[in-house]
C-alpha cells in the first residue's frame, strides 16, 4: 500500500511533537498540554501507524509493547565497569582537579563540558547495530540486573539509534517531581508507604517485575555517558550528545562547554541558579573532559575516571526570622525546644515553618534569640536545622533565651539529670508526659489502637477520662458520657472501644514495647517475650534472669526490674481489667528467599524503616541481626551503607541491594 503524502507528513509531525512534549514534561517542568491531549496525539500516531504499516518505524514512540511479567532479574556482567565520580565541594578542590588534568595532559587549554548532575539511578543501555538489546542496572559496578523489559517501556529510551552503531549508552533513570508527588499521593491513598525521594521512587519502580506497572510510573532516561563502543564513531562527548539527541534521547539540559577554572566555575554557578526551573532534582554539576582522546590518556582509578568530577552543591539554605520557641514534653519528660519561623521557607520541595533546636546547649551554642534572622538548612531528606544566626542583622536589644526552671506544661520542676544534655520534667503525672505515653502505647509501633491519635488522647486527658494507660480499659464505663462530647458520634465511640478491647490480647512483645520502658526497644521486647512467654513471668523476673538473655545488657535489665517495681499498681490494675497479652506464637513461614537465613541490613532502605524490614524478615522465617558475622547469610545494602559492607566482603557474605530486597519481601509476603 502506498501511503498518502498527508499520512506520512502527519506521522512525522506527530513523532516530532511527541518528542517535544516529552522534553517539556520530563525535563523543563513546563508541560504545554494536559496529559489527556498527549494521550490523544499518541493514539492518533498509533492509529496511523496501524493503518499504514509501511510508515511504522521501530524508533517510533509507540513501539513499546508490554514485556509481560518477569519471574525475577538475571544478573549480568557489565561490558566495562560502571564507575562512579569523585566529588569536589569547593572551588579549591575543583582547582586541584583541573591542575591534575592539565599536568597529566601537559596542556592548559583542555575543554570541558559542564552539565547538571541528575539525582537518579544509573543504568546502561546496550545497542547492537543501532538496536536496543539490553538494559542493566549499575548493580555493584561489575555486574548489574537485566531490566531490559522495564527500560523498553520508558518513552525516552529510544529502541533504535539514528545510525546502526554498536555502542553502550549510560545515563540516569529519574522520576520528575510532578510524577513523584502524584505517585506518593496514590500510594498514601492505598495505604502503601510513600517513597522518600524521587530517586528512591525511580529505583523501586525499575525493579518491579511487571513492566506494565513500570510503564505507568512515568520514568525518564537521560543519557550522559558512553560505555563500550565499536570503532570510533565520535571524537568528542559533544559529538556523542548530538547523536544521542538525534536519536531521541534526553541529554542533560543547559550544558556549557568551556575551559579554565573561572569559566568552569561560572558554568557551575549558572547551572545552580537555573536548576530550580527543571522538572527533576539536580544535586550538583558534572565537569567532564570533552575530547575522548584526552579521556583515554587520563584513564581512571579503581573507582572513578580521572577525566571527570562531580561538583556537589551545598544543602539548600534559606533565611527567615525566629518568631518564637515552643517547648514540647516527651514521653520520658524530655523538654525539647522547637523554633517557629515567620515566614515559613521553601526548602527542597517542602515548606518549613519549624525546626527542632534539640536542647538548651544548642540554643546557647547558636546564641539564638527571638526576632533573630536565621539560616535554615535542609540537606536532602534530612530534617531542617537552624545552622546559623545572622548576628549582624540583629536590630535592637534581643533577650537571650534562658533555660527553663519549670515544665512549660505542668509547671512542676524541670532539671537536667546528671550526665544528660536534656532538660526533664520530673513530674510523672505531667499531662504532657501522660499524653505522650498513651499516644506511644496506642501507636502503630505499640499495641496499635486504631482511632486513638494525638487529638483524641488530648480530649480524653483534658476531660479527665484518662490519667494512665489503665484508664483506657475503663472507658467502656463512660460510654454515655463520651457520647456527649462534640464530634464523638456513636459509631466512632464504639469503634474506639472495640479497638481498645482488642488490645487486651495484644502480642506480648508489642505490649511490652508499648509500655515505653527506658532502653527497651522492639528487639529487646521480642527477646524478653520469647524468653518468658507470659506477662506474669516477665513481672517476676530478676535482673540476673534478664541478663541471661542474649542481647540484654545491665542497663536494660535494671530498667526492666525498676519499671516493674515502680509501676506495680498500674500493672495490677491493667491485669485486673482483663489485659492478657498473648504469648509469642511460632508459625511456619512459607518457602521464600529469607527463610532460615541470617540477615543484616545496612544503610537506608527505599521505603521501609529498619524495624518494618526486620519484622517482615522475621515473619518470613528469617533472623535479622545487627552485626555481620560468619553466621550472616545475606547483607542488605541500602543507601549510605556503613562499614558492614567491608566486613561482609571480607567474609564473603552475599549482598542484596535495598531495592531488590524490598521487591523480594513484597513478593514473598503472604
Ligand atoms: S558522567 C564514570 N554525568 O552520578 C561515570 N554522571 O555520583 C561518568 N550522574 O555514576 C558519569 N548525572 O550515575 C555523569 N550528568 C552526569 C550525571 C552523572 C548523574 C551519576 C552517574 C555517576 C554518579 C556519580
Query: What percent of the chain has pLDDT above 90?
Result: 58
**Nearest atom within ligand 1 for CA of residue 85:** 24
Ligand 1 pocket check for 295: Cβ under 6 Å? no
Give residue 618's pLDDT: 87
Calpha distance 508→526 (Å, rounded): 8
The secondary element (H helix, E strand) that includes residue 179 is helix 177-189
CATH superfamily ID and name for 5-63: Helix hairpin bin (1.10.287.610)
Return all residues near 579 (Cβ < 8 A) that are at least 6 apart.
473, 503, 504, 511, 535
Residue 477: helix, strand or coil by DSSP?
Answer: helix
Query: What percent of the chain has pLDDT above 70?
Result: 96
Query: Would you say residue 59 has pLDDT above 70?
Result: no
120 CA → ligand 1 middle, Å: 9
pLDDT tier, 619 (very low <50, low <70, confident <90, very high otherwise): confident
Return all residues near 448 (Cβ < 8 A) that are at least 6 apart.
442, 503, 506, 510
Query: Would you say residue 70 has pLDDT above 70?
Result: no
Average pLDDT, the chain: 90
Q: What are 576-610's pLDDT values in tens digits?
A: 999 999 988 766 777 888 998 999 999 889 888 88
Ligand 1 pocket check for 204: Cβ under 6 Å? no
pLDDT tier, 56 (very low <50, low <70, confident <90, very high otherwise): confident
Range 600-637 burial, b when 16+ CB lie within 10 A, else e: bbbbbbbbbebebbbebbebbbbebbeebeeebebbbb
Among positive and negative, which fits the CA dihedral 524, 527, 528, 533? positive
Q: What are 464-500's pLDDT values in tens digits?
A: 999 999 999 999 999 999 999 998 999 999 999 999 9
pLDDT tier, 68 (very low <50, low <70, confident <90, very high otherwise): low
Residue nearest to atom 15 of ligand 1 (CA): 117
Return all residues near 540 (Cβ < 8 A) that are at least 6 apart.
none
Ligand 1 pocket check for 115: Cβ under 6 Å? yes
Give residue 583's pLDDT: 87
Q: What are 165-180's pLDDT values in tens digits?
A: 899 999 999 999 889 9
Strands 112-118 and 282-289: antiparallel
- Mean predicted confidence (pLDDT) in 446-450: 93
Instruction: Say if CB 362 and CB 421 are below 8 A apart.
Output: no
Give residue 383's pLDDT: 72
Give residue 379's pLDDT: 60
Q: What are 119-135's pLDDT values in tens digits?
A: 999 999 999 999 999 99
The secondary element (H helix, E strand) that includes residue 649 is helix 644-651
The CA-CA-CA angle for residues 645, 647, 650, to 5°, reads 110
Class of the domain covering 508-576: mainly alpha
Strands 634-637 and 654-657: parallel
Domain boundaries, the chain: 5-63, 87-312, 317-416, 431-505, 508-576, 598-668
Q: What's 256-324 look like in SS3?
A: EEECCHHHHHHHHHHHHHHHHHCCCCEEEEEEEECEHHHHHHHCECCCCECCEEEEECCCEEEEEEEEE
Calpha distance 447→4 (Å, rounded): 71
Residue with cell 496501524: 50
Specify the fold of 87-312. Answer: D-amino Acid Aminotransferase; Chain A, domain 1 (3.30.470)
**Nearest atom within ligand 1 for CA of residue 138:** 13
Query: Would you say residue 648 has pLDDT above 60?
Result: yes
Instruction: Say if CB 160 and CB 247 are below 8 A apart.
Output: yes
Give residue 302's pLDDT: 86
Instruction: Say if CB 513 and CB 485 are below 8 A apart.
Output: no
Of 1.10.150.530, 3.40.50.720, 1.10.150.20, 2.10.10.90, which CATH number belongs to 431-505? 1.10.150.20
Q: Domain 598-668 classified CATH 3.40.50.10190? A: yes
Q: What are 189-214's pLDDT values in tens digits?
A: 776 777 878 888 999 999 888 888 89
Give residue 484's pLDDT: 92
Give residue 134's pLDDT: 95
**CATH assignment, 317-416:** 2.40.50.140
Give residue 381's pLDDT: 52
Q: What are 568-582's pLDDT values in tens digits?
A: 999 999 999 999 999
658 CA → ligand 1 middle, Å: 20
241 CA → ligand 1 middle, Å: 15
Calpha distance 258→617 (Å, rounded): 52
Task: Pick 6 or 64 by higher pLDDT.
Answer: 6
Q: What are 545-564's pLDDT values in tens digits?
A: 999 887 788 888 998 999 99
Q: Tell me the chain's radius of gyration from C-alpha atoms.
A: 30
Identical fold between 431-505 and 508-576: yes
Ligand 1 pocket check for 310: Cβ under 6 Å? yes
Q: What are 384-438's pLDDT values in tens digits?
A: 889 899 999 998 889 889 999 999 999 999 998 877 788 999 898 899 999 999 9
Calpha distance 610→615 (Å, rounded): 8
CA–chain centroid gap for 517, Å, is 29
Q: What are 263-286's pLDDT values in tens digits?
A: 999 999 999 999 988 999 898 999
Residue nearest to atom 2 of ligand 1 (CA): 83
Amino acid at each position: 500500500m502506498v501511503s498518502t503524502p498527508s499520512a506520512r507528513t502527519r506521522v512525522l509531525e506527530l513523532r516530532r511533537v511527541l518528542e517535544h512534549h516529552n522534553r517539556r514534561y520530563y525535563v523543563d517542568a513546563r508541560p504545554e498540554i494536559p496529559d489527556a491531549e498527549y494521550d490523544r496525539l499518541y493514539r492518533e500516531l498509533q492509529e496511523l501507524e496501524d493503518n499504514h504499516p509501511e510508515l511504522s518505524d521501530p524508533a517510533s514512540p509507540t513501539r513499546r509493547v508490554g514485556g509481560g511479567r518477569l519471574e525475577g532479574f538475571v544478573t549480568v556482567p557489565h561490558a566495562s565497569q560502571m564507575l562512579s565520580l569523585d566529588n569536589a565541594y569547593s572551588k579549591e578542590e575543583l582547582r586541584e582537579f583541573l591542575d591534575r588534568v592539565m599536568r597529566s595532559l601537559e596542556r592548559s587549554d583542555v575543554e570541558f563540558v559542564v552539565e547538571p548532575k541528575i539525582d537518579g539511578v544509573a543504568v546502561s543501555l546496550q545497542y547492537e547495530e543501532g538496536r536496543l538489546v539490553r538494559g542493566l542496572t549499575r548493580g555493584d559496578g561489575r555486574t548489574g540486573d537485566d531490566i531490559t523489559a522495564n527500560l523498553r517501556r520508558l518513552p525516552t529510551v529510544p529502541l533504535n539509534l539514528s545510525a546502526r552503531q554498536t555502542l553502550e549508552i549510560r545515563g540516569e533513570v529519574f522520576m520528575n517531581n510532578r510524577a513523584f508527588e502524584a505517585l506518593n499521593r496514590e500510594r498514601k491513598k492505598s495505604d502503601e508507604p510513600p517513597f522518600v525521594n524521587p530517586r528512591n521512587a525511580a529505583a523501586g519502580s525499575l525493579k518491579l517485575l511487571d513492566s506494565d506497572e513500570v510503564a505507568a510510573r512515568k520514568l525518564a532516561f537521560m543519557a550522559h555517558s558512553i560505555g563500550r563502543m565499536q570503532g570510533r564513531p565520535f571524537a568528542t562527548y559533544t559529538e556523542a550528545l548530538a547523536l544521542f539527541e538525534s536519536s531521541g534521547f534526553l541529554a542533560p539540559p543547559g550544558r556549557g562547554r568551556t575551559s579554565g577554572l573561572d569559566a568552569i566555575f561560572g558554568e557551575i554557578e549558572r547551572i545552580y541558579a537555573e536548576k530550580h526551573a527543571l522538572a527533576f532534582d539536580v544535586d550538583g554539576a558534572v565537569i567532564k573532559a570533552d575530547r575522548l582522546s584526552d579521556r583515554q590518556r587520563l584513564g581512571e582509578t579503581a573507582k572513578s575516571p580521572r577525566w571527570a568530577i562531580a561538583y556537589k552543591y551545598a544543602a539548600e539554605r534559606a533565611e527567615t526570622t525566629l518568631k518564637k520557641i515552643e517547648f514540647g514534653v516527651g514521653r520520658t519528660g524530655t523538654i525539647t525546644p522547637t523554633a517557629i519561623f515567620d515566614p515559613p521557607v521553601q526548602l527542597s520541595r517542602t515548606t518549613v515553618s519549624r525546626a527542632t533546636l534539640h536542647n538548651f546547649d544548642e540554643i546557647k551554642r547558636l546564641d539564638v534569640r527571638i526576632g533573630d534572622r536565621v539560616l535554615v538548612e535542609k540537606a536532602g531528606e534530612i530534617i531542617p536545622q537552624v545552622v546559623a544566626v545572622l548576628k549582624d542583622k540583629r536590630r535592637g536589644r534581643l533577650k537571650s533565651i534562658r533555660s527553663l526552671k519549670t515544665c512549660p506544661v505542668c509547671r512542676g520542676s524541670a532539671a537536667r539529670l546528671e550526665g544528660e544534655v536534656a532538660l526533664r520534667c520530673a513530674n510523672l503525672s505531667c499531662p504532657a508526659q501522660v499524653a505522650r505515653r498513651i499516644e506511644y502505647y496506642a501507636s502503630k509501633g505499640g499495641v496499635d489502637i486504631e482511632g486513638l491519635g494525638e487529638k483524641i488522647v488530648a480530649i480524653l486527658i483534658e476531660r479527665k477520662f484518662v490519667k494512665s494507660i489503665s484508664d483506657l480499659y475503663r472507658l467502656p464505663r463512660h460510654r454515655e458520657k463520651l457520647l456527649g462530647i462534640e464530634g464523638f458520634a456513636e459509631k466512632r465511640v464504639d469503634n474506639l472501644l472495640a479497638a481498645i478491647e482488642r488490645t487486651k490480647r495484644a502480642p506480648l512483645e508489642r505490649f511490652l514495647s508499648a509500655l515505653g520502658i527506658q532502653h527497651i526497644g522492639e528487639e529487646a521486647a521480642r527477646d524478653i517475650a520469647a524468653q518468658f512467654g507470659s506477662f506474669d513471668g516477665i513481672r517476676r523476673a530478676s535482673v540476673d534472669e534478664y541478663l541471661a538473655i542474649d542481647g540484654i545488657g545491665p542497663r536494660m535489665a535494671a530498667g526492666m526490674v525498676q519499671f516493674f517495681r515502680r509501676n506495680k499498681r498500674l500493672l495490677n490494675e491493667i491485669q485486673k481489667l482483663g489485659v492478657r497479652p498473648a504469648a509469642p506464637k511460632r508459625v511456619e513461614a512459607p518457602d521464600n528467599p529469607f527463610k532460615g537465613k541470617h540477615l543484616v541490613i545496612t544503610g537506608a532502605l527505599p521505603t521501609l524503616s529498619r524495624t518494618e524490614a526486620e519484622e517482615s524478615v522475621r515473619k518470613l522465617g528469617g533472623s535479622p541481626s545487627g552485626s555481620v558475622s560468619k553466621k550472616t547469610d545475606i547483607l542488605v545494602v541500602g543507601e549510605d551503607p556503613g562499614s558492614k559492607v567491608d566486613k561482609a566482603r571480607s567474609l564473603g557474605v552475599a549482598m542484596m541491594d535495598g531495592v531488590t530486597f524490598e521487591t523480594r519481601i513484597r513478593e514473598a509476603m503472604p
